[in-house]
A and B are shown apart, each in its own frame.
Chain A
Amino acid sequence: MSSIENFLRGPSFVSAPNASVSRFSNNDRNLFPSPSFHRRSLTSMHSSFLTRLLVALPALALAALATAVPLDQPVIAPSGVLRLWTDTTGRQVEATFRGIENGEIYLQTRNGFVYRLPLSRLSPEDQKMAAQLKPEGLGIPRDPSLAQAAAVIDKGVLLGLEKAKQQPNPLASDEQFIRRVYLDLNGRIPTREETIAFLEDKSDSKRAKVIDKLIQSEGFSSHLFNYFSDMLRLAHDAQKAKFYTYEEWFKNQLAANRPYNEIVRELLSADGKLLENGATGYLLRDRGMRLDNLSLTLSSFLGANVACAQCHDHPFADWTQKQFFQMAAFFGASEVGVKARTPALRGLREELGNAAFQQARRLMDVNSLLIRDGSANDLTLPNDYKYKDGKPGDPVAPALVTWGPNDHRLRCYQDAEAGLKKLGKDEGALRDIFARWMTSPDNPRFAMTIANRLWKLVFGVGLKEPVTDLDDPNAASNPALLHHLGNEMVRLKFDLRAFMRLLCNTQTYQREAVTRELELGEAFLFPGPILRRMTAEQAWDSCVTLAIGEKIDAFKAKRGEAYAQVMNMNVAEADVEAIKEKLTAMQSLRKKGMLETKGKAKAKAKRKAAPTMAEDETDAQSPETLDGLVLARASELRQPERDNHFLRMFGQSDRQICDSNSLEGSVPQVLMLMNGEAQSVLGSSSARVTATAMGMTKPEEKVEALYLSFFSRRPSAGELGEAVAALNGGLQSADLAWVLFNAREFVFVQ
């Protein structure tokens, strides 16, 4: 048994970590001196497939990195000083000091694990020293295996930096951290009160605590919903129907923290009516665009860069058009969107008039949105197919792509093979076979793709860019780390909250943002996060926070159920009376603005009746409005918002193109920030931010209140002087609110 374990034997934090941490490779074994740790990691989870994963790791790249680092250097906690600690019996261990809480000391050993032990077990000299020391690094973590998992990621980053002879950035200040972590885990800036509470918290574990709080917040689900809406092009309007049930289904999955692989599997294999099963929305959205949908499925979920192969062999990558069609064949037996028979519709125009007839057609349209698995794959090669391995019109049999020569040995391929053999004449299960293969933990790309995406979400850049092209993971800025993150996603069982919690607990995340511009073509190695402009949704939700504070989460738009209840009917058996009844029921939806088409909504908005969608005066659950703006989370507004709304002008995707949220500025956007509704709302005395400042008597207090609200920090002496002088020179709190709102420091997150 090693000296560390000797030393730390006894009532430690937990006697053994519950969860194990997958590691970079077998080759860096000596970085993890505890043999028992190794054993645990290999046996605690799907052991057979983990073994395979470990073998599949890019051992070569990693070995090179690992051996380049002298092992006597403190590679895990560079900002922490490794000290020799001695206990009452004279045993010693090398560790960094992470803090003292409730009479217990937290020490992090070189392998990243954090141990907790009573202070009294240390020698009197060390006890004295500990009392005077400032905690190293991030303070006290919430659980030891999390701390270790975070340390392994940090180590991976440091190996990459060290190889390029770069230094990591210093740790971010509490002010920088709190603003960043709220935006990343809650989708908005903290309120002034939340900032003050954090800054004044003197405990050594406050960073870890706030992460745990935010990860469980409603804002977290909202933030992730915004992210995935952009990735999946989730929109209310598609196929002449409202996709409210899809929206609601997705939100429910995120709120319930359902594992990501299960969510995606259901998106691809769902069947039934849109009105009864919101998960069908993913395929139904692209009804009639089967190939486009597949192309996006492959690039969004697997990072397979296949867009070109849809129409011709990929000019650079290895993808062929044949392969693309073989993948598409898995969807060849599924009918997406089945024309509803509408016997009662004939003659209705005369009876109901044109307007009502159009509504009735709409009713039929939405009821015809359903997915049904047939029995035969009908996919054929396209008319302009020009390669030697097939002729136009040839039927295409399903086949899965591989990324490496040994991929077919992976269980997900074996299972798919077995599934295909079992099919026989009935090919209805093809789609399900594909969905299981794609979302399997041992799919070579699925876990890595979402891991890379979420890494980008909190660091601003992916380890591999673009995130839709992971065909060659070794082209990543730090391939070993990318593979490791994929493994971590699997270890955490695709729990998105746990994964984000892990990323935010790394030192890498909690470092200062990078201030220099990268050279052209220079790989970004993550000395810290990059400077990011807020997304449209973060900016909007932050504005709403400034206006109404934490009440931002009070309003939840629940449209799916209400819509389905009214619209759902058995079309085949519907008679004129039943249709008429439905048309009457649809009036209630119309009143709530839930049936508006895009064009009509625009016309309405112009008439200043503006945002009817979320507004319903008879509904007690209605959101606050100011100056015609509905003050609710972006996730609860229209998906996407109307074109001249703050969100769209600030770059919200139109949900036509995957991942098309824009972070760029423009003249109309700046005009809106300077002269639009949002600044006028924030500068009014009804907005909490300005009301708070106006309630203060001294100009210094006003300035400080506004700084804490907008920037999550207090002003420097110089800034205070300038701002106070301006206030004394005739400007009001509202003017200062305008200034801070228009500052780059507001929309850029460091």
Chain B
Amino acid sequence: MNQPFNSLNPVGRRLFAERLAQSVLGVSLLPHLSALAQEAPAPAAKAPGFGKAKAVIWLQMTGGMSHIDTLDPKRGESKGARDPIATKAGYELGGYLPKLAASHSEKMAIIRSMSSKTGVHASGQYLMRTGYEQRGTIQHPSLGAWAQELLGKSHKTLPSSVCVNRNPDHGNGFFSAAYSPLPIHDPDAGLQYSTFAASSEVMDKRLALLNKIDGGFRAKFKDSNLKAYSDFYDDTLKLLSSEDLAAFKLTDEQDEQREAYGRNKFGQGCMLARRLVERGVRFVEVTQGGWDMHNDIDDEMQENGGIIDVAISALLEDLHNRGLLQSTMIVLCSEFGRGPRINSRSGRDHHPKVFSTMLAGAGVRGGTIYGSSDKDGNSVADKQSTIQDFHSTVGHAMGMDVDHVTMSPSNRPFTVGDKGKVIADVLA
């Protein structure tokens, strides 16, 4: 059913792959690779980094993170209270991010030419999470849900997507509710309702009785949703009795390590993300609010900037030490940036015209600055990039064919990243 929408037919794609291989590698494809290129729908050779990000930790800053005070610092009139910091990789970071600047600049690629038309929080966040403009007629999936659709489940008992510090909206989109991210509202508390309502002895008896007296009903109706329910009960019980449930328990970590991430919801959320990714969860979003700094931005940046500087540094280091950074991509983004002008209340206002995002880890060409804003950080100076491009880039790194058309249940065509372009320059 998707056939007519594929822009390249298998033969065309193979030719394309071969030509690319010839020009890049100077060789024609080996027979077995050639066969692969013909079968696989994925345009593996189109851009670097394809499929390298086996897992993604998506750090979503809600409220609109000031690019000028973080990833795209300025020295002119628009400069905030702190001076930029030089890094080893040769670019500068905002003065509120000393740890990242000191130790991780070579792991990060920063896109400084992001631009969108949406200056409203809710629809901006929706766009940043899904890659699609918000509409009243359909709900679009996040990258985690896309991956579950296109690449399958990432683990047998654990969910494929988890969202930390937020609700699971902007999640499964038009896909099945089974693709919805599992929400963790408080990383310290772990998975909600995962403590049995009664002693295990009583619970066993309850479940045994449940299966006996409900068996007739379940057998009578051949209904897929009913069956799905029974499967969810099985999955849930499996999860609750599985050792993997420990993935949600931060109390298993050493105090020292927990301190390193910062004792706050975001820091602990990042640590939880690492635990989950380590055990096979593919897509974890960790949300940090408080970026809507219309007033007294210096004070607020000190607080929030400090939180993310510590947490992301710890996360990069921890993943690196565990050898997970080669397979895990870190994404830092926000629904828009903040304006160059400091307003009368010492704050900055919404600014979607230009802002920045950051990628690090698997599939990322570290130490890269892609695109730029003008002198004040007011508009795009070079290589304008859309949120759709950004989504396509991450989706591509996750191993998804961004040209592949998937029909929604309402029979409308959709792609990962809404036909954005993969930004190959930040991938490796």
Identify the A interface with B (CB < 8 A): 233, 286, 289, 292-293, 295-296, 299, 307-308, 316, 354, 466, 469, 513, 515-517, 530-531, 533, 643-644, 651, 654, 656-658, 660, 662-672, 674-676, 679-680, 683, 715-716, 719, 722-723, 726, 729-731, 735-736, 738-739, 742-745, 747-748, 750
- Which chain A residue has the least Cβ–Cβ distance from B410? A466
Inter-subunit contact A744/B217 (CB<8 Å):
yes
- Which chain B residue has the least Cβ–Cβ distance from A305? B410
Q: Which of B23-31, B88-96, B180-188, B311-319 contacts its partner?
A: B180-188
- B222 on the A face (CB < 8 A): yes
Inter-subunit contact B137/A726 (CB<8 Å):
no
Cα-based distance from A679 to B220 in the complex (angstroms)? 26
Inter-subunit contact B136/A289 (CB<8 Å):
yes
- B32 on the A face (CB < 8 A): no
Q: Name the B residues within 8 Å of A643 (CB-CB).
A: 167, 169
Inter-subunit contact A307/B197 (CB<8 Å):
no
Q: A731: which of B202, B216, B223 is its contact (CB, 8 Å)? A: B202
Quote the shortest CB–CB distance from B211 to chain A (angstroms).
10
Q: Name the A residues within 8 Å of B224 (CB-CB).
A: 517
- Give the one of B183, B217, B240, B412 with max A CB within 10 A: B217
Cα-based distance from A119 to B185 in the complex (angstroms)? 69
Cα-based distance from A16 to B182 in the complex (angstroms)? 61
Inter-subunit contact A657/B226 (CB<8 Å):
no
Quote the shortest CB–CB distance from B245 to chain A (angstroms).
11
Inter-subunit contact B167/A667 (CB<8 Å):
no
Q: A307: which of B137, B139, B180, B193 is its contact (CB, 8 Å)? A: B137
Q: Which of B108-116, B228-236, B388-396 contacts its partner?
A: B228-236
Quote the shortest CB–CB distance from B128 to chain A (angstroms).
16
- Give the one of A316, A644, A680, A716 with max B CB within 10 A: A644
Quote the shortest CB–CB distance from A696 to chain B (angstroms).
18
Q: A308: which of B167, B223, B412 is its contact (CB, 8 Å)? A: B412
Cα-based distance from A490 to B369 in the complex (angstroms)? 65
Cα-based distance from A482 to B185 in the complex (angstroms)? 46
Given contacts A671-B194, A675-B195, A731-B205, 6 further A-B contacts (CB under 8 A): A466-B410, A651-B177, A665-B178, A665-B232, A722-B212, A744-B229
Cα-based distance from A722 to B196 in the complex (angstroms)? 23
Cα-based distance from A726 to B176 in the complex (angstroms)? 37
Inter-subunit contact B212/A663 (CB<8 Å):
no
- Which chain B residue has the least Cβ–Cβ distance from A720? B213
Contact-residue bracket for chain B: 35 or more
Q: Name the A residues within 8 Å of B239 (CB-CB).
A: 667
Quote the shortest CB–CB distance from A12 to chain B (angstroms).
43
Q: Name the B residues within 8 Å of A731 (CB-CB).
A: 202, 205-206, 209
Quote the shortest CB–CB distance from B413 to chain A (angstroms).
8
Quote the shortest CB–CB distance from B141 to chain A (angstroms).
13
Q: B229: which of A658, A665, A671, A739 is its contact (CB, 8 Å)? A: A665
- B295 on the A face (CB < 8 A): yes
Identify the B interface with A (CB < 8 A): 134-139, 159, 167-169, 176-178, 180, 182-183, 185, 191-198, 202, 205-206, 209-210, 212-214, 216-218, 220-226, 228-230, 232-233, 235-236, 239-240, 295, 410-412
Q: Name the A residues within 8 Å of B194 (CB-CB).
A: 671, 675
Inter-subunit contact A667/B159 (CB<8 Å):
yes
Q: Name the A residues within 8 Å of B216 (CB-CB).
A: 716, 719
Quote the shortest CB–CB distance from A402 to chain B (angstroms).
23
Q: Name the B residues within 8 Å of A743 (CB-CB).
A: 210, 213-214, 217
Cα-based distance from A293 to B138 in the complex (angstroms)? 13
Cα-based distance from A664 to B226 in the complex (angstroms)? 9
Q: B138: which of A657, A666, A674, A747 is its contact (CB, 8 Å)? A: A657
| Between-chain CB contacts (< 8 Å), 11 pairs | A654-B169, A656-B134, A656-B169, A662-B177, A671-B240, A674-B236, A675-B197, A683-B197, A726-B205, A735-B198, A748-B217
Cα-based distance from A747 to B225 in the complex (angstroms)? 11
Quote the shortest CB–CB distance from A681 to chain B (angstroms).
11
Q: A748: which of B183, B192, B226, B411 is its contact (CB, 8 Å)? A: B226
Inter-subunit contact B205/A665 (CB<8 Å):
no
Inter-subunit contact B197/A722 (CB<8 Å):
no
Given A666-B180, A670-B236 in contact, is the A515-B221 Cβ separation under 8 Å? Answer: yes
Given A295-B137, A466-B410 in contact, is the A670-B191 Cβ separation under 8 Å? Answer: no
Q: B213: which of A295, A668, A739 is its contact (CB, 8 Å)? A: A739
Cα-based distance from A660 to B206 in the complex (angstroms)? 33
Inter-subunit contact A675/B193 (CB<8 Å):
yes
Quote the shortest CB–CB distance from B199 to chain A (angstroms).
11
Inter-subunit contact A667/B206 (CB<8 Å):
no
Q: Name the B residues within 8 Å of A286 (CB-CB).
A: 136
Inter-subunit contact A644/B136 (CB<8 Å):
no
- Which chain A residue has the least Cβ–Cβ distance from B236? A670
Quote the shortest CB–CB distance from B66 to chain A (angstroms).
20
Q: A666: which of B178, B214, B295, B412 is its contact (CB, 8 Å)? A: B178
Quote the shortest CB–CB distance from B273 to chain A (angstroms).
18
Quote the shortest CB–CB distance from A725 to chain B (angstroms).
9
Cα-based distance from A680 to B197 in the complex (angstroms)? 8
Inter-subunit contact A307/B214 (CB<8 Å):
no
- Give the one of B169, B196, B226 with max A CB within 10 A: B226
Quote the shortest CB–CB distance from A47 to chain B (angstroms).
39
Q: Name the A residues within 8 Å of B223 (CB-CB).
A: 515, 517, 530-531, 748
- Give the one of A308, A316, A654, A739 with max B CB within 10 A: A739
- Give the one of B137, B216, B220, B240 with max A CB within 10 A: B137
- Which chain B residue has the least Cβ–Cβ distance from A308? B412
Q: Name the B residues within 8 Å of A517 (CB-CB).
A: 222-224
- Give the one of A292, A651, A658, A738 with max B CB within 10 A: A738
- Give the one of A289, A354, A735, A736 with max B CB within 10 A: A735
- Which chain A residue has the least Cβ–Cβ distance from B120? A288
- Which chain B residue has the least Cβ–Cβ distance from A293? B136
Q: Name the A residues within 8 Å of B410 (CB-CB).
A: 466, 469
Cα-based distance from A744 to B218 in the complex (angstroms)? 7
Q: Name the A residues within 8 Å of B134 (CB-CB).
A: 656
- Which 8 pairs across A and B sit closest by C-beta, in order of nearness? A664-B177, A671-B193, A643-B167, A675-B193, A743-B214, A307-B137, A745-B217, A665-B232
Given A643-B169, A644-B167 in contact, is the A747-B192 Cβ separation under 8 Å? Answer: no
Quote the shortest CB–CB distance from B139 to chain A (angstroms).
5
Cα-based distance from A738 to B214 in the complex (angstroms)? 13
Q: B205: which of A307, A308, A729 is its contact (CB, 8 Å)? A: A729
Quote the shortest CB–CB distance from B419 to chain A (angstroms).
13
Given A533-B225, A731-B206 in contact, is the A656-B214 Cβ separation under 8 Å? Answer: no
- Which chain A residue has the least Cβ–Cβ distance from B122? A656
Q: Name the A residues within 8 Å of B411 (CB-CB).
A: 316
Inter-subunit contact A723/B176 (CB<8 Å):
no
Cα-based distance from A722 to B206 in the complex (angstroms)? 12
Q: Name the A residues within 8 Å of B135 (CB-CB).
A: 292, 307
Cα-based distance from A679 to B229 in the complex (angstroms)? 17
Q: B233: which of A307, A644, A670, A715 is its contact (CB, 8 Å)? A: A670
Q: A657: which of B139, B178, B196, B198 is its contact (CB, 8 Å)? A: B139
- Which chain B residue has the least Cβ–Cβ distance from A716? B216
Inter-subunit contact B139/A738 (CB<8 Å):
no
Given A657-B138, A671-B191 in contact, is the A664-B225 Cβ separation under 8 Å? Answer: yes
Given A307-B137, A307-B412, A747-B229 in contact, is the A679-B177 Cβ separation under 8 Å? Answer: no
Inter-subunit contact A675/B196 (CB<8 Å):
yes
Inter-subunit contact A296/B213 (CB<8 Å):
no
Cα-based distance from A636 to B18 in the complex (angstroms)? 64
Q: B197: which of A665, A679, A747 is its contact (CB, 8 Å)? A: A679
Quote the shortest CB–CB distance from B207 to chain A (angstroms).
8
Q: Name the B residues within 8 Å of A683 (CB-CB).
A: 197
Cα-based distance from A669 to B178 in the complex (angstroms)? 11
Inter-subunit contact B136/A292 (CB<8 Å):
yes
Quote the shortest CB–CB distance from B166 to chain A (angstroms).
9
Cα-based distance from A469 to B180 in the complex (angstroms)? 26
Quote the shortest CB–CB distance from A663 to chain B (angstroms).
7
Q: A667: which of B182, B196, B226 is its contact (CB, 8 Å)? A: B182
Cα-based distance from A644 to B186 in the complex (angstroms)? 12
